[in-house]
Structure 1
């Protein structure tokens, strides 16, 4: 086949509009399994050779990620001490809610900014990958230069998830899904790092866009939960916003992560990528991590469904936590008193005080 004709054929690769959601998922999985069966040299030696041949990541870039991760940690501590905690005190929140505000406010601030910038790139620049996902692999070449505006996203997001892995352990409130959250952060950081090194940055922008929106709704809703009772008074407006936010969060989680993500990302990485580049490197590695990310999205969605069922059946009278993840304080203290091996999150000081992340606070 002439080169020009082959290039035209590759450029015409698109998601078949005649296929339904389930058909696309089945075809994506079939394409992945078929490629795995046809792979004759997929061992560690071949993977190492491929990594050396196609991965491009300098020590300077690694140093920038580390420094930015440390900067995120310092910035969070500063905003917590000088902005979020004083604001909670000024609003006269109850101590239990006041402790949770800095974490949610910090995450809301970051995800709002990061998602807005990704939206700008996808809808107001030439990076029109949302409406044409297969184009993310058009013209892919090993070691190609990454546009500065996309490289900036990768630096911000990569360093933030490196910071978030540490923050989940030592700064965030410990929750029932914290272990899964740590795994999520490690998987996300790995995907960001390797997609940058292998120059799969176009599809990476789309993945970040489809995931950050839900975090905005989640943290915004949780803040309204904390602000429902302040100054000794119940504020109905925050309760109404909480109910609306819970509904929007549940719907958007399904739509962004369980509908759009499979058809705009998984299908493209499993099927369209091979059609555009038959010998695309680390095909199995990236798709396995993306499928793992999908499984975690399903896992969290089950929490959401269970919570909605409890609300509808009257087991929960009022929305307190959208994902119902928080472990109660007594349970956390009881576990730590029993093990006496970890003072990572909270350590009893006396009957009326405890320390949380280095700060002495009164027990609620």
Structure 2
């Protein structure tokens, strides 16, 4: 019962008690470099339960938002064009007429001749397929495809907005994040309750995304995205257990910061607002290249080797340097993926400049 109460407090962001307890252990943590690699603020098994609960939280909020908000809103934002509505109305009128009037050879011939001049959706309207039904069905299929893409983009935009907002709030509590040399100074560091909540939110989000990745339309970078999620989860788990939480929070925020902008640009694109799609795609491209292809390699990864050591030159954590190298290896792999996506973004920027507008996501080109 005590563990359940602690988890409920964590889920409800009622962290004042945990904060007071953590603050009282600052001096103990700052002098515990010889006590092994494990986070002195780790509460087991409560933290493990919290991680599982946050995965279930993301699944639950996704289901609720999808049914209650996202799907209905997608139908309002992407409705049937006027010419398709007119075709549907004519089809309904023809169906009613055929049900109320007696069928004669003359009326049947006139009905067939009139129906052949109008595009109908036989599956949706329950009438016989006319000869030109293919165009109508193709347009309906494209609309349904755009709605599905819009729903996915809206959900991802919402989830990333939540994680980014929590990340900004977490880093705003102190000033060490702006100085890479402070990421390791005084290691091991205090893991505040705010950091714990941010780690749980981020870990739950990426774990749930890893699951949903197999249920979404498969894009050409499926395995790259799969590798990205696995590496992110490994870095988060290892950095939390080994008290590398300062650099861990920075890494998580840098990798999430551009994503809500990208999903927001997609929403405008699927809603056929080209101008807003162009604006937000340009903002996303600049943000991605700055955060992932400049700050991440030159201010985060580059800080690990020179600063991730004790004063006597031994690699952190003392006696367990393998954990450090696991994290660094994952960071380097993440950067390779970032360079690949940066190349695709530059390719899309080039296409946008030459075509005068942003097009479909370039990763959709090889959808299976």
Is the pair's TM-score, using the shorter chain for normalization, greater than 0.5? yes
Shift of 1:327: 4.8
Q: After the TM superposition, which residues 329-344 of structure 1 pair with which residues of structure 2 at under 5 Å, given as runs?
A: 332=368
The one of 266, 274, 279 aligned to 2:315: 279
Q: Does 1:111 align with 2:160?
A: yes
Moved more, 85-94 or 146-155: 85-94
The one of 285, 292, 299 aligned to 1:257: 292
Mark the runs of 5 or more structure 1 residues left unpaired by the alignment: 1-51, 229-237, 333-364
Q: Does 1:130 align with 2:177?
A: yes
Shift of 1:313: 4.1
Could you say which structure has the larger radius of gyration?
2
Task: Name the SS for the 2:349 alignment partner.
Answer: helix
Q: Does 1:139 align with 2:210?
A: no
Shift of 1:163: 0.7
Q: After the TM superposition, which residues 289-300 of structure 1 pair with which residues of structure 2 at under 5 Å, given as runs?
A: 289-300=330-341
Q: Identify, as 1 or 2, the structure richer in helix.
A: 2
1:319 corresponds to which residue? 358
After TM superposition, the score normalised by the length of structure 1 is 0.67
Give the Cα–Cα distance (whole angstroms) in 2 for the partners of residues 120 and 272 of structure 1. 25
Mark the runs of 5 or more structure 2 residues left unpaired by the alignment: 1-34, 80-142, 318-322
Aligned residues of 1:134 and 1:272 also touching (Cα < 8 A): yes
After TM superposition, the score normalised by the length of structure 2 is 0.67
Aligned residues of 1:174 and 1:327 also touching (Cα < 8 A): no
2:344 corresponds to which residue? 303
1:71 corresponds to which residue? 57
Q: Does 1:194 align with 2:232?
A: no
Q: Structure 1 residues 54 and 87, CA, compared in 2 at 3 Å: closer, same or farther?
A: same
1:244 corresponds to which residue? 279
Shift of 1:178: 1.4
Give the Cα–Cα distance (whole angstroms) in 1 for the partners of residues 253 and 295 of structure 2. 11
Q: Identify, as 1 or 2, the structure richer in strand.
A: 1
Give the Cα–Cα distance (whole angstroms) in 2 for the partners of residues 240 and 145 of structure 1. 46
Q: Does 1:155 align with 2:200?
A: yes
Give the Cα–Cα distance (whole angstroms) in 2 for the partners of residues 71 and 113 of structure 1. 13
RMSD: 2.2
Shift of 1:100: 1.2
Aligned residues of 1:134 and 1:273 also touching (Cα < 8 A): no
Give the Cα–Cα distance (whole angstroms) in 1 for the partners of residues 151 and 358 of structure 2. 20
Moved more, 275-284 or 195-204: 275-284
Shift of 1:70: 2.0
Deviations 1:307-360 (A, max 9, x none): 22333444xx64233x411257xx64xxxxxxxxxxxxxxxxxxxxxxxxxxxx
Alignment size in residue pairs: 263
